Amino acid sequence: MTQTIQQDIITAKLFFNAAFPVMKVVLEDDSAMKAKFQGVQAIVQIGAFGERAGGELFACHLVFDKGQFSVIQGTAESAGKKPDIALTFSSLAKMNTMFRGGLALPSIKGLNKLGLLLKVFSLLMSLMLMMPSSRPKEPAKQRLKVKMSLYMITRALSVYNKLGDPAMSEWCRRQPERIYQFIVDGEDGGSPAVACYLRVKAGKSKSGHGVYTRRSPFVLFHFFSVGGALKVLLKDVAFVEGVEQGCVEIIGSPEYAMYLNDFMSVLQGMLT
């Protein structure tokens, strides 16, 4: 297997396991999108053919159940279900291109369910809010972008470890139980606008939403506002400059914070 094919597989799995689950945030926090899917019961499969022998289909399926949403890895058929719509790309590279915002189109089964198809495409396109080129002006959209981006990147870090990246796996393996916490302050000074974390323990990793309460963070990335978080996420300022400008403070080990930031940059490069 060439390095390019291996990279395409890893990127596709990151989209399936880290980016796609973030659609749940859109369905919960975007009132228009929430209303659009409120009564929908459907299964939508998304996949692409790999370039290994036999042209294996890499796929996941989205399950909509009257306001509930989940992403299941593997084909719908393997779970004993029939998709209402199936979007299938001829290659992983083309699928990854589309979800990075490029031009690539899948073959579509289920064109007779046009209303559902249009809703699904609008939801998939909502992921473009996480792209570096997306610079929303409305406060609600800014908060949504920050929330989606941090949820995605913490999940992607854990997935990257589980996929066996040598550097990430070694970094996780040599650590005892540690919490890398991200918090973005809200405007009212009360509950955080966004909070999520990465938990690492002896090679294992897990991401989660909210503030981890069972252990103090080994490293805390504390953003003082949604605007400050946007500056750092959009790379308008580097992390060090963000600290100097009062966008973020890093409490804990600066060495491990920089290691994590390096991995985050790698993943953002793969997914955007």
How high is the pLDDT of residue 159?
98
Do 250 and 243 touch, CB atoms closer than 8 A?
yes
Residues 156 and 266 grouped into a single domain: yes
> For the chain, how big is the Rg over CA atoms in Å?
19
Taking the alpha carbons at both ends of the chain, their separation in whole angstroms is: 24
Q: What are phi and psi of 200, to 5 degrees?
A: -125, 135
Residues in the chain with pLDDT < 70? 1, 51-54, 189-190
Residues 85 and 195 grouped into a single domain: no
Between CA 99 and CA 128 the distance in angstroms is: 8
pLDDT digit string, tens, across residues 218-264: 999 999 999 999 999 999 998 888 989 999 999 999 999 999 999 99
The edge-to-edge listing of strands for the beta sheet with 204-209 is: 204-209, 194-201, 178-184, 219-223, 248-252
Residues 255 and 146 grouped into a single domain: yes
How high is the pLDDT of residue 68?
95
Between CA 66 and CA 51 the distance in angstroms is: 36
- Looking at residue 46, its amino acid is I
How high is the pLDDT of residue 189?
65
Kindly report the pTM of this predicted structure. 0.94
Residues 149 and 37 grouped into a single domain: no
Between CA 56 and CA 97 the distance in angstroms is: 19
pLDDT digit string, tens, across residues 188-209: 766 899 999 999 999 999 999 9
Residue ending a domain, choose from 86, 108, 128: 128
For the record, the structure tokens of 130 come out as: 């996480």
Show the beta-strand stretches assigned E in 77-217: 85-89, 107-109, 178-184, 194-201, 204-209
Q: Could you tell me the residue range of the domain that residue 64 belongs to?
A: 3-128
How high is the pLDDT of residue 53?
42
What's the domain count of the chain? Answer: 2
How high is the pLDDT of residue 238?
85
Residue ending a domain, choose from 108, 128, 148: 128
Residues 53 and 113 grouped into a single domain: yes
Q: How far is CA 272 from CA 132, 172, 239, in A?
A: 7, 24, 19
How high is the pLDDT of residue 30?
97
Residues 118 and 21 grouped into a single domain: yes
Residue ending a domain, choose from 128, 152, 173: 128
Other beta carbons less than 10 A from residue 226's beta carbon: 21
Do 152 and 23 touch, CB atoms closer than 8 A?
no
Angle between helices 3-14 and 92-99 (to 10 degrees): 50
